[in-house]
Structure 1
Amino acid sequence: MLTFARDTCVQRFARCAVVALLAGTLGACTTASAPDLPSAGTNLNQTQPSGPSRWELVRWQQPDGSLREIPHGDNGQPIIFEFNEGIDAAQGTVSGTSGCNRFTGSYGKTDTGIRFDRIASTRMACPPPRMELESSLLKAMQTPFATVGTQPSAGSTGRQIIWKTAGGDLLQFVEREGVGKRGASVDAGGIEKVVYIDSQRVECSGVGKMTCYRWRESPQAPWQLWYGPIEGLDFEPGVAYKLRVREYQVPNPPADASSIRWQLLNVESRTRAK
């Protein structure tokens, strides 16, 4: 079990980080428990090639040790930060989804972590739990995050990082290759295809009520419903897309999941609806 520092530990963080790497615990510095979090450190200890990287927010621990629920979008979309130059870069641009809306801005490394600048987001309304968490996240991004935990990739699990906000919350992110249902395995091959996506999603019924993409194979073909996510697509309502995707067959999918998976290869065109 690994525990993380309260404010009283920040002044002694360098010493605590060494203790964590040697003993796997920061228990001497705190009384709040945070099980299954990565070992502490000030960098990822596993530099990756430059280029885009995607990170999913998987855990939000508040200063009192309690956890905030992290709701997903209508189609199961997680909260994703995409760094155009990778998280190891000194600076770059960042975009993604913050719980309800899409956001864009810039980022840069600091001596102790990362900062976000000029963050702007769309203004779509969502159910209260998603809006409340998004508001808290965007507010936290107005001040720098301190890196208090890191872990290189292990097996199928991507690299992990924990940032501490100015308010004392601990945000745990895991590196992802895409933004679809995590843990799903796919056929290594897949086929490329072009699909046309309507500018608005519609209500549909799966395991429960949800919203689906409308898609077709050509501008003249009838619309069909797509129940799953489109991995890598930051969908903007009011914009129709022509996409090149790779289609995979998912062996033994869960009962509530599709047997077909789409991963975005390229946005061929974007057309704003009139």
Structure 2
Amino acid sequence: MQKISRSSPGVLIARATCAVLLATALGACTTAPAPDSPGAGASLNEAQAGGPSRWELVRWQQADGSLRSIPHGDNGQPIIFEFNSGIDSAQGTVSGYSGCNRFTGGYGKTSTGMRFDPLAATRMACIPPRAELENALLTAMQSPFTTVGTQPSAGSMGRQIIWKTANGDLLQFIEREGVGQRGDKMEAQAAGGVEKTVYVDSQRVECTGVVRQSCYRVRENPNASWTLWYGPIEGLDFEPGTAYTLRVRETRVDNPPADASAIRWQLLKVESRTRAN
């Protein structure tokens, strides 16, 4: 495979690593793997489910074998998926940059790969090549992805994964510690956040933002009235009928999606759980 420079669409991919990974994936191009096959249930062997992980889309092979160009944003931003609980976690919140806009939503592991819950996204306009790729990506995410190849980290390369979309395209991602200025900014923002204790009611309630949705009822003082929390609580595996006392990190979100909160809560610790009577 020809090496690609960092300034051209895509990123530099080591030949040997890519060859092994693509061989696994291309063998599954015509038929999706069975749930109990190595491709479907492939482990990344370096699971990091206890913390967030960030993944960059580096290669898009269409069902006919042709490669799709992956343009970067105005400031060089790559396409990034950020899994708040790690890619190997059973479920959590995913957010990132889809080529033109920021998005956020839920994700969960399936027997064959990964599913994404309905996403909220910003609505910025951009030039046609980026808009077309973003539309194709967000459309693909409406159906589950099938895992057809994985590779643990080797040398300077991060862990890798190839997902197959419902229409047969292959999307190759590499794990990144922090990509460009935006990744550095996010880490600095998280480090500068405020830690606080919040109380979460045992049931979510129907609420209306931009659309009708379910909200948490929360308060920061056990004697205060409940208020509605419209966003996710990243890292919380909420169980209806259980009230929680949580330690969270609160940070502000720059340019949040139209139907998302400008405040971000990341779970640090579940201090207590109480089953409702």
Q: TM-score, normalised by structure 2?
A: 0.57
CA contact (8 A) 2:41 2:111 kept: no
| Separation in 1, partners of 2:133, 2:110 | 25
User: Matches of 1:14 and 1:134 in 2, distance apart?
Assistant: 32
- Aligned counterparts of 2:140 and 2:133: Cα–Cα separation in 1: 11
Q: CA deviation at 1:43?
A: 2.0
1:129 to 2:129 alignment: yes
Letter matched to residue 48 of structure 1: Q
Question: For the residues of structure 1 that align with 2:28 and 2:111, how far apart are their CA atoms?
Answer: 19
| Structure 1: runs of 5 or more not aligned | 19-39, 181-228, 235-242, 246-263
Query: What is residue 256 of structure 1 aligned with on the other side?
Result: none
**In the alignment, which residue of structure 2 is the partner of 1:165?**
165
| 1:266 paired residue number | 192
- Structure 1 residue 42 displacement after superposition: 1.8
Aligned mates of 1:271, 1:96 — CA distance in 2 = 13
CA offset at residue 11 of structure 1?
Answer: 5.5
- CA shift in 2, pair 1:233/1:48, >3 Å: same
Cα separation, 2, equivalents of 1:141 and 1:265: 30
Equivalent residue, structure 1, for 2:32: 10
Q: Structure 1 11/52 Cα, relative in aligned 2: closer, same or farther at 3 Å?
A: closer
The structural deviation recorded for 1:49 is 4.9
Give the letter aligned to residue 99 of structure 2: G
Three-state SS of the structure 2 residue aligned to 1:65 is coil
CA positional deviation for 1:244: 4.8
Question: Following TM superposition, by how much is the alpha carbon of 1:127 offset from its aligned partner in structure 2, in angstroms?
Answer: 0.7
2:108 corresponds in structure 1 to 108
Task: Show the counterpart of 1:51.
Answer: 51
CA 1:142–1:269: 2 relative to 1, 3 Å: closer
Separation in 2, partners of 1:148, 1:95? 23
Q: CA deviation at 1:8?
A: 3.6
Change (3 A) 1:71 1:266: farther
Q: TM-score scaled by structure 1?
A: 0.58
| 8 Å contact from structure 2 (residues 33, 148) kept in 1 | no
| Local SS of the residue matching 2:139 | helix
- Over the aligned positions, Cα root-mean-square deviation in angstroms equals 2.6
Structure 2 contact 35–112 (Cα < 8 Å) conserved = no
Tell me how far apart the structure 1 counterparts of residues 253 and 105 of structure 2 sit (CA, whole Å): 21
Unaligned runs of at least 5 residues, structure 2: 1-18, 194-250, 256-277
